[in-house]
Amino acid sequence: MKPLIIIDPGHGGRDPGGGSNEYWLEKDMVLKISKYQYERLKALGIPVQLTRNDDVYLSSSQRAKIVRDSEAKYCISNHINAGGGEGAETIHSIYSDAKLATKILDQIRQAGQKTRRVFYRTLSNSPHLDYYFMHRETGNVETVIVEYGFADQKEDTDRLLNHWKDYAEAVIKAICEHIGHNYQKSFNIDKDSWKHEGVEYLYKEGILNDLQGWKQKINEPMPVWAVTLLLKKICEKLKEES
C-alpha cells in the first residue's frame, strides 16, 4: 500500500544540518521528531513512510527521488532553523494553496511555540520555479517544510528541549484535520511508564508487532485467546533460540 504521508527527517550522516547547537545536531533532533510522527500516524491508521529512519546521508536527488517514488500525497520535511530569528515557520510550494502549511503552523502555535510565517520562495532567476528542491523536485507530492524553531535562539532552544514532542504532535493534529481523519490524542508514554516495560521488551524481541497499539491498551484486560496466543508466540520464540 502506498503511503498517504511521507515524512522527511532533513539532513543525516555527514550532513549534520545548520540548525544545530550544544544540545543537539539538527539531523538527530529532526529524526527524533520524525520517528515520533511516524509512530503516531501508524497508530492512527494513516499509511506513512520515512525517507530515512537512521543516521544516513541522502543527497538532494536521492531524497527527492524517495519522495517521488513513494507516490504519497503529502510530504512533511522536518528541520530546525538557524541564523537569527525566533519561532516556527512553514514553507510551501508556489503551486500549493498553503492550506496544510497554514494548519500546521497554527497547531504548532496552539501547542505553545512562537510562530513567524507561512511563506514560499522562488528561484531568483526564475519566478516560476520553487527555490527549495523539496518543492521543486518532488513531483506531484505536496511538500511542506516545517522549521520548528531556531537552534541559535535561547528561548526557542529551551522550548524545543522541553516541548518538541508537543510540536511534533501538533503536526499530526493538523494533518488529521486537513485530510478529514479522526484525530485521537497521543497516549502519554511517560505517564505510567513502568507499565510499558513488558510491552516494550516483547516488541523488541519480535513477539508483539504493534508497539503503540499495545501501549494505548495498557490498562485493558486481555481476553483468554490473546493470552494463549501470546504464550504460543513466546514458546515458539524459545524453541527457535534453543
Residue range 176-187: average pLDDT?
A: 91
Residue reference for cell 505517564: 191
All three cell numbers of 176, joined, read 488529521
Distances (CA, A) of 89 to 112, 148, 158, 173: 13, 7, 17, 16
Query: Residue 156 has what pLDDT?
Result: 98
Distances (CA, A) of 197 to 38, 191, 202, 220, 240: 21, 12, 9, 16, 23
What does the buried/exposed string (b/e) look like for 47-68 if buried means 16 or more CB atoms within 10 Å of the residue's CB? ebbbbbeeeeebeeeebbbbbb
All three cell numbers of 180, joined, read 478529514
Q: What is the pLDDT of residues 98-131, one digit of tens each?
A: 999 999 999 999 999 999 999 999 999 999 999 9
Is pLDDT of 206 > 60? yes
Residue range 176-186: average pLDDT?
A: 94
Question: Between 238 and 204, whose confidence is greater?
Answer: 238
Is pLDDT of 216 > 70? no
Average pLDDT, the chain: 92
Radius of gyration for the chain, computed over Cα atoms and rounded to the nearest angstrom: 20
Q: What is the pTM (predicted TM-score) of this model? A: 0.78
Residue 188: pLDDT band by 50, 70, 90 thresholds?
low
3-state secondary structure of 190: coil
